[in-house]
Amino acid sequence: MNNNTSQADNAPMVSVEHAGLRFGDFDALQDINLEVYQGQTLALLGHNGAGKSSLIKLILGLIKPTSGQLTIRGSSVAGQSVNLGYLPEDVSFYDKLTGKEVLSYFAALKGIHPQRVQQLIGEFELEYAQHRQLKTYSKGMKQRLGVAQAILSNPDILLLDEPTVGLDPQASQFLYEKIESLKQQGCAVIVCTHELAIVEQHLDSALLLAGGRRVGFGSLDDLRQASGLKTQIKLANFAGLVQGDTYLQSLSHQQALWVGADERKAVVEYLVQQKNCTDFNVIEPSLAVMYHHFMQQQAPNVAAVNGELTMASKGWLQSLQSLFTSTARQSSL
C-alpha cells in the first residue's frame, strides 16, 4: 500500500464511467459514474435490489459491465495488478476450523507471512478465541475475522459488503475505527451498507442507487447542495432576535431559521455579528434525510412494502402484483 502521493494529483483508484450491467433483459445497473481516490471512503447506498452488490462485483472484476467502462488505477480491471481486499455480504468460513486456522489458510494462499496473521489476531482482539472452532464464534467475532481476512494483504482497495449488519453499536464502531486507520495508510474503501447514521460519520463520498441508476453522488455537502434541502438554525433567543429583523423573519419558520446550502455561511456570519445572539445550533440535513429525499424523487417506481420505502424494479412489482392477485383469488375461493 502506497500513501506517498497526494490525493489532488492522484489518478482515481477506481473509476466507473457510464457502466451498465444486464442480466438477460433486466438492467441491474444503468449509466453508473463514480470515482474513488486513495485514502477515501465511498459509501454505496440504496434500497434492497438497487444494485450495490452487483457494482461491488463489477469493481472486483467478478463480472464484466455490459456497457461503459471501469478502470482501477487507470487500467482496465482485467489488466490491473492492484491489491484488493473483499468482505462478502454473507461471510461464511468452514466452521470446524479455528479462527487462527482460517487466517493462516488465506495467508498461505496469498503468500503472506504467518506473523501478519498473529498481528491481525491481536489487532482484532481475537487472541482469546484464536484456537476455538468458528462454530463457537458470535456474529461479531466472525465479522471481525472476516474483515481481518479482507485486509490480510494490506489491500490498496478494500470492498466491504454490509460489514456491520447484525453488529452491536460498539462492534460497528470498532470496525469503522479499523477502516479509518486503513484509510490513513492510503487504502481506498468502498462500503455498501444500509446503516446510514454510522457510515455518515466516516464517508468521504456516497453513491445513492435506486433501481440500478445513480440518483445522487458526492460528499455530504455535494448531496446537500443537490438535494436543495435546508439547514435548520436553532436560536436560543429566537423571539428576541427575529422580532423586528426582516432578514431573519424571512428565514424563520416554527421557532427556527431555515436556510439553503448556498446561504448558510452568510446567515451564520450575520448571526455572529448580532450582539444579542449568544447561542445558536446549526443542524444540517442528515444522510438519512437526504437518502429518503433522493429515493422519494423516484416516486413513480417506489412501492411501500412492510412500512419501508423500497424501490421496486418493474419485474419485482409485477411479481408482487401477481402474488397479491393469486392470494386474493385463493381467499375468495
Ligand X SMILES: Nc1ncnc2c1ncn2[C@@H]1O[C@H](COP(=O)(O)OP(=O)(O)OP(=O)(O)O)[C@@H](O)[C@H]1O
Binding positions for ligand X, rule: CB under 6 A: 23, 26, 28, 46, 48-54, 313
Q: Choose between 103 and 208: whose C-beta lies nearer to ligand X.
A: 208
Q: Which residue has the cell 444522510?
A: 287
CB of 58 to ligand X, least distance (A): 10
> Which three cell numbers mark 270?
450575520
CB of 48 to ligand X, least distance (A): 3
> Which three cell numbers mark 214?
445513480
What strands, in cross-sheet order, belong to the sheet with 280-283? 252-253, 256-259, 231-235, 280-283
CB of 262 to ligand X, least distance (A): 32
Angle of helix 99-110 versus helix 139-150 axis, rounded to 10: 20
Q: Choose between 20 and 260: whose C-beta lies nearer to ligand X.
A: 20
- Alpha-carbon dihedral sign for residues 58, 86, 222, 298: positive
Q: Choose between 210 and 267: whose C-beta lies nearer to ligand X.
A: 210
CB of 207 to ligand X, least distance (A): 11
CB of 177 to ligand X, least distance (A): 24
Q: Choose between 111 and 307: whose C-beta lies nearer to ligand X.
A: 307
Q: Choose between 24 and 79: whose C-beta lies nearer to ligand X.
A: 24
State the burial class of residue 9 (Cβ atoms within 10 Å of its Cβ: 0-12, 13-18, 19+): exposed
CB of 92 to ligand X, least distance (A): 16
The closest alpha carbon to 209, from 13, 15, 40, 19, belongs to 19
Residue ranges of alpha helices (H) inside the chain are 52-60, 99-110, 114-123, 139-150, 169-184, 196-200, 220-227, 238-242, 246-251, 264-273, 287-296, 314-332
- Alpha-carbon dihedral sign for residues 117, 121, 127, 129: negative
Q: Choose between 48 and 219: whose C-beta lies nearer to ligand X.
A: 48
